[in-house]
Chains A and B, each alone.
Chain A
Amino acid sequence: MIGAEWAWAIPALSVAAFFLIVVFGRWLPGGGGFLSIAAIFLGFALFWLVLADVLRSGAASFSVTWLAAGDTRLTWGVTVDRISTTMLGLVTFVALLVQVYSIGYMRGDPRLGWYFAVHGLFAGAMLALVLADNLLFLYAAWELVGLGSYLLIGFWFERRAAAEAAKKAFITTRIGDVGLLAGIILLFRETGTFDISTIIHVAQQGDVGGGVLTAASLLIFLGAMGKSAQFPFHVWLPDAMEGPTPVSALIHAATMVAAGVYLVARMMPLFELVPIALLVVAVVGLVSFTLAGGLALTATDVKRALAYSTVSHLGLMMLSLGSLGTAAALFHLVAHGLSKALLFLGAGSVMHGTNGETDIRKMGGLRKRMPITAAAFVVGAASLAGVAPLAGFFSKDEALLAVLDHRSPVFIAIALAGVALSALYMARVTLVVFFGGLKPENDHAHESPPVMTVPLIALAFFAVTLGVIAFGWTDSYRGFADYLTGEGPFHVEPWLTAVSLLLALGGLLLGWLYYGSGRLSSRAAAERLPWLHRALVNGLYLDTVYQWVVDRVVLALSRFTALFDRIVVNDTGVDGPAVTVMLSALRMRYVQTGKMYNYAAAMALGVAGLALVWWVVS
């Protein structure tokens, strides 16, 4: 019977597909894309076997030695427990749907083989990341996820914007990764191992100094902030929308951006030992949750609006983690991942039907042309807006509950404002794109083929029904949170649920008043607070500031270093002595007059001088 010990095969299959397509793709039909889909399908099938095994016999880990240097052993290994299998299921499921969807969306692209190959690489890396039992393996997978995202965002590299966006995503996350790697090596220095459970065990014994532990957990969180696009590292995510839309559904909804949340959840026992780190996680999450919600409100590009919404919901997950709500964060990760993948695929379907249009101001009434897409999109938006009883409602509620239980009232108050904002921007996007009157230029819009709508329907099904796993159904299953981390049965705080639901509905109503019925004018609202509107439209000027820093500080410094090296170090320090020697030689040659009496005089002077010295010394 194939069980948990075969979990390593799930990422390996996808990576194998990558290499097979790269090497043999040119001789295979369709560039060999089917290999990648087959690999992820097998991975999804294997996931069920692994899950069954985990439910039967509990968590397990399997590792092999990768290299041994001196007395240091590094291992490659996988941990199969409830958290990692949950992620396994989410990633394989979304990746499978996205790849199937891509058959329709990417039809006719000249580099289809490469597209699916990179999907294989990305999925393999992401799956390895969630399975990794040690931090080094995790870091390696983490970086390869970054590479996969670089290649996917920059898939249409002939487009300048795509090439720039890919670069920006890689470099921004890489800055966070400096912290991650430093944190990992710091923990290695203290504990002598990369193994996650051993590190946590050693830290819980109190064998790691408090300062080091604080530094390490903050450094690790820096990596998580980069990957999960948390404020102020979020700037790469909206730009990353230059990639093909299915790519956004994969990496900017359920996988890569979720990696940061997953990492913090994995290392939670470590963070629990450092209250200040938890506070930082909570504050960064809270800031991202609300600010990105505001940014989503003014985005006029449907994908960018969704991207800001992703930043916002990832912020909610971080806030939940920072409030000790690990299970709630992971629950929201799953619910959001499915709902957001649905929204991105819906947006892709809209683009497919309207010749790649992404500007929501040019859309409207599309439900008349693309009913399935519209219905699915509405479901996803309602789920993320927090409408009961969809999946997002339950997960968001559990996250808020954690905040209520473990953080001061300020946090819950601001978070509730974020909830209303979330509903408002979701209403805006949905209403503007799918409702109202159909614009004449969109008259030709058409519904997408079944290969694209079936994944939408599948995701919509889960966005509707996933909420049920929140509840305890049997004695052994006492709710998703308890299943994941054993933190006790599902519970609700009725007033909080009521308030958050009311706020969500209020947000939706407000959205309808502004963008549905037209009773209120969004333009008037913008004109009432022009500075705020401008700041939001310009992404709080963060891009401007970063660009300034890059141009005026980093590049200026690099140009200065280059000039310094050429002019000071080389032309002065190196050529200077050489030129001095040459010039002195040119002068010195006049001493060689070739006249005997000059030499004789010099000789006589020399003898006299030496005699003088001898006389003085003795």
Chain B
Amino acid sequence: MQTFDSYVLFALIVLPLAGAGVLMAIPGSRPVPVRWTATAFAAVCLALSAYVFLSYYLVHLDDGGMQLTRTWNWLSLPGAGPLADQGITLALGVDGIAAPMVLLTGIVMFCGVLMSWTVQDRGKDFFILYFLLLSGVFGVFASLDMFFFFFFYELAVLPMYLLIGVWGSSSTFSAFSRTKEYGAMKLTLYLVGGSVLVWIAILAIFVEGGLGTFSLTALEQVEFSPTFQRVFFPFLAVGFGVLAGLWPFHTWSPDGHVAAPTAVSMVHAGVLMKLGAFGILRIGMALLPEGAETWMPVLIGLGTVNVLYGAMSAMGQRDLKYVIGYSSVSHMGYVLMGLATLHSLGVTGAVLQMFSHGVMTALFFAAVGVIYDRTHTRDITVLRGLAGRMGFTTSVFAVAGLASLGLPGLSGFVAELLVFLGLFQTYPILGVLGIVGAAITAVYVLRLLAGAFFGPSDERWAGLRGASRLEGLSMMILVGFIFLVGLFPFPFIRVIDTGTAELLARFLSLS
């Protein structure tokens, strides 16, 4: 067991790569083995990620801290400092914050593969890139070394360009059009731009730390000067914030969704945006707590803008994917607000919201994918009365919608409630604005349901097929987690709380 534990995170990073390798060996002309291979690898990754979370919850909860750790020395940096021997290491481990994120990645990855059985064109290449991307995502959540953190971060972003550029779709609207190349290019440039800021801050931390190592665990012991922290925290907050959809650097996200194929949208909103918030937590707040404390009022303000502006924009959209895309911007605002409270309830809520939103938005995009596949439109002024034809998809969409408007019993309520509780301890007025945001969400979600799904059945959709078995399975898994977190949030909250407490201890020691 000991050996298995020390390899499980490594396996999670390598398995998708291995899956990509195996897929390369299968002739692309035979889609069935390609799909089964992809599904099998994704299933193993889901099982391993569930193992990571459960072992943290069942075995390591009392110990807390980093678990399932393993370090491989990769490169020493002679002369750089006292720890130059371990200059760059492949150090892996998860704490209470990363463990649920790993689980989330496993879930979304598997469900995304199930939704991608319908990819007709170059399915093999699609899965290869998809697996590369997810290897990067697992890597970010498991890395304890800034160099590899950044390496995996880039690995998670770059395949996106091809996935959208090749398998995406261009859309023409009455007033404007968005090509898939535009969406892919903007997304990539934006995220690479954010990475530049992150990389500057990482190098600055490396130099200022003076230890000659990129190891996060070692650098956590260093007390950086307040000035340094205040100068470089914004680099991390904005650099990572871009990926988290931080206003006003969010426009890559809705346009990216509109251009992306279903599974890529699921991964994009489900886990990729979480990498940004995770980066702020793991590097920004953990290494530069004083900087974080200084800048948090700004971040919390921008988070509020995210919530309200995202919700209002979502209401003004006509395309289903734009609605969901802007709702992601809005919901990631709660994550930013929660983090910025620096209060245990708020931060725990933010991390739970990352999980909850990941599952919920993946479900949204899965349902939209099914609808678009059958009706060939996402225009909510054209879609009418779908409920009569696609009962299952409608129910699933309604569950996601109700979770997003914070209905008790579903995951969004618990997460948002914790964020609100944290906010009222620190910034009560913004807390009220946050609740108002949830009410606006109710308006656009219910308008969408009433407009596109309810009302008289339309004869245009008379021959419509509902969701297939695989699509149904994929959506049911996501629905299951929405209910699980909504009704039995204890395991998640206890695990996250362990991580949050350790993180916030660094802030308490400041004052």
Chain A positions within 8 Å of B, measured between CB atoms, are 66-70, 72, 136, 139-141, 143-144, 147, 150, 154, 157-160, 162-164, 166-167, 170-171, 174-175, 177-178, 181-182, 185-186, 188-189, 554-555, 557-563, 565-566, 569-570, 573-574, 578
Q: Rank and list the top 5 A-B pairs by shortest CB-CB distance, nearest first.
A: A562-B316, A140-B408, A163-B454, A558-B315, A558-B316
27 A-B interface contacts by CB (under 8 A): A66-B490, A68-B493, A69-B344, A70-B344, A70-B497, A72-B421, A139-B408, A140-B413, A144-B407, A147-B407, A158-B454, A159-B455, A159-B456, A160-B454, A163-B455, A167-B449, A170-B446, A171-B439, A171-B443, A181-B435, A186-B428, A188-B421, A554-B443, A555-B316, A561-B313, A562-B315, A574-B186
* Chain A residues, Cβ within 8 Å of B497: 69-70
* Chain A residues, Cβ within 8 Å of B344: 69-70
Tell me whether B457 and A175 are in contact (CB under 8 A). no
* Chain B residues, Cβ within 8 Å of A566: 176
Tell me whether A69 and B345 are in contact in the complex, defined as CB-CB below 8 angstroms, given that A561-B312, A573-B248, A574-B186 are known contacts: yes
Tell me whether A574 and B316 are in contact (CB under 8 A). no
C-alpha spacing A461/B263, complex, angstroms:
61
Tell me whether A157 and B186 are in contact (CB under 8 A). no
A568 to chain B, nearest CB (A): 9
Closest to A559 in B: B316
* Chain B residues, Cβ within 8 Å of A178: 432, 435-436, 438-439
Closest to A215 in B: B428
Q: Name the contact of A558 in the complex, choosing from B312, B385, B420, B424 (C-beta under 8 A).
A: B312
Tell me whether A158 and B431 are in contact (CB under 8 A). no
C-alpha spacing A383/B377, complex, angstroms:
55
Chain B positions within 8 Å of A, measured between CB atoms, are 176, 186, 189-190, 248, 251-252, 255, 309, 312-317, 326, 344-345, 348, 385, 387-388, 402, 405, 407-409, 413-414, 417-418, 420-421, 424-425, 428, 431-432, 435-436, 438-439, 442-444, 446-447, 449-450, 453-457, 489-490, 493-494, 497, 500-501
* Chain B residues, Cβ within 8 Å of A558: 312-316, 444
Closest to B255 in A: A570
Tell me whether A170 and B420 are in contact (CB under 8 A). no
Tell me whether A69 and B409 are in contact in the complex, defined as CB-CB below 8 angstroms, given that A170-B442, A186-B428 are known contacts: no
* Chain B residues, Cβ within 8 Å of A554: 315, 443
Closest to B455 in A: A160
Tell me whether A569 and B248 are in contact (CB under 8 A). yes
* Chain A residues, Cβ within 8 Å of B438: 178
C-alpha spacing A67/B489, complex, angstroms:
7
Tell me whether A143 and B348 are in contact in the complex, defined as CB-CB below 8 angstroms, given that A188-B421, A188-B424 are known contacts: no
* Chain B residues, Cβ within 8 Å of A565: 251, 309, 313, 326
B500 to chain A, nearest CB (A): 8
Tell me whether B456 and A143 are in contact (CB under 8 A). no
* Chain A residues, Cβ within 8 Å of B494: 68
Tell me whether A189 and B313 are in contact in the complex, defined as CB-CB below 8 angstroms, given that A69-B345, A70-B348, A178-B435 are known contacts: no
Tell me whether A185 and B424 are in contact (CB under 8 A). yes
B346 to chain A, nearest CB (A): 10
In the complex, besides A167-B446, A174-B405, A565-B313, 6 extra interface pairs with C-beta distance below 8 angstroms are A69-B348, A150-B446, A167-B449, A559-B316, A563-B316, A565-B309
* Chain B residues, Cβ within 8 Å of A175: 439
* Chain B residues, Cβ within 8 Å of A578: 189
Tell me whether B425 and A189 are in contact (CB under 8 A). yes
Interface secondary structure of A, over-half rule? helix
Q: Name the contact of B421 in the complex, choosing from A147, A185, A561, A573 (C-beta under 8 A).
A: A185
C-alpha spacing A136/B409, complex, angstroms:
12
C-alpha spacing A177/B456, complex, angstroms:
30
Tell me whether A167 and B450 are in contact (CB under 8 A). yes
Tell me whether A158 and B385 are in contact in the complex, defined as CB-CB below 8 angstroms, given that A139-B408, A559-B316, A562-B316 are known contacts: yes
C-alpha spacing A414/B86, complex, angstroms:
83
Q: Name the contact of B345 in the complex, choosing from A66, A72, A147, A162 (C-beta under 8 A).
A: A72
A447 to chain B, nearest CB (A): 33
Tell me whether A140 and B409 are in contact in the complex, defined as CB-CB below 8 angstroms, given that A157-B387, A555-B315, A574-B251 are known contacts: yes
* Chain A residues, Cβ within 8 Å of B248: 569, 573
C-alpha spacing A558/B409, complex, angstroms:
29
Tell me whether A177 and B501 are in contact (CB under 8 A). no
B245 to chain A, nearest CB (A): 12
* Chain A residues, Cβ within 8 Å of B255: 570
* Chain B residues, Cβ within 8 Å of A560: 316
Closest to A185 in B: B424
Tell me whether A182 and B435 are in contact (CB under 8 A). yes
Tell me whether A189 and B424 are in contact in the complex, defined as CB-CB below 8 angstroms, given that A160-B456, A167-B449, A170-B442 are known contacts: yes
Tell me whether A174 and B439 are in contact in the complex, defined as CB-CB below 8 angstroms, given that A70-B345, A167-B449 are known contacts: yes
B336 to chain A, nearest CB (A): 17
Q: Name the contact of A157 in the complex, choosing from B309, B436, B446, B454 (C-beta under 8 A).
A: B454
C-alpha spacing A561/B424, complex, angstroms:
27
C-alpha spacing A147/B403, complex, angstroms:
12
Tell me whether B450 and A166 are in contact (CB under 8 A). yes
B224 to chain A, nearest CB (A): 27
B329 to chain A, nearest CB (A): 9
C-alpha spacing A555/B316, complex, angstroms:
7
Q: Name the contact of B493 in the complex, choosing from A67, A157, A174 (C-beta under 8 A).
A: A67
A592 to chain B, nearest CB (A): 24
Tell me whether A181 and B316 are in contact (CB under 8 A). no
* Chain B residues, Cβ within 8 Å of A157: 387, 453-455
C-alpha spacing A528/B308, complex, angstroms:
49
Q: Name the contact of A67 in the complex, choosing from B405, B420, B436, B490 (C-beta under 8 A).
A: B490
B424 to chain A, nearest CB (A): 5
Closest to A563 in B: B316
C-alpha spacing A164/B449, complex, angstroms:
10
* Chain B residues, Cβ within 8 Å of A185: 420-421, 424, 431
Tell me whether B435 and A143 are in contact (CB under 8 A). no
Tell me whether B442 and A69 are in contact (CB under 8 A). no
C-alpha spacing A70/B443, complex, angstroms:
33
Tell me whether A158 and B251 are in contact (CB under 8 A). no
Closest to A181 in B: B435
C-alpha spacing A569/B246, complex, angstroms:
13
* Chain A residues, Cβ within 8 Å of B407: 143-144, 147
C-alpha spacing A272/B95, complex, angstroms:
48
* Chain B residues, Cβ within 8 Å of A159: 455-456
* Chain A residues, Cβ within 8 Å of B432: 178, 182
A104 to chain B, nearest CB (A): 26
A231 to chain B, nearest CB (A): 20
Closest to A176 in B: B439
* Chain A residues, Cβ within 8 Å of B490: 66-68
Interface centre among B186, B409, B489 (most CB of A within 10 A): B409
C-alpha spacing A68/B61, complex, angstroms:
14
* Chain A residues, Cβ within 8 Å of B420: 181, 185
C-alpha spacing A162/B450, complex, angstroms:
9
* Chain A residues, Cβ within 8 Å of B409: 140, 144
C-alpha spacing A340/B511, complex, angstroms:
61
B333 to chain A, nearest CB (A): 14
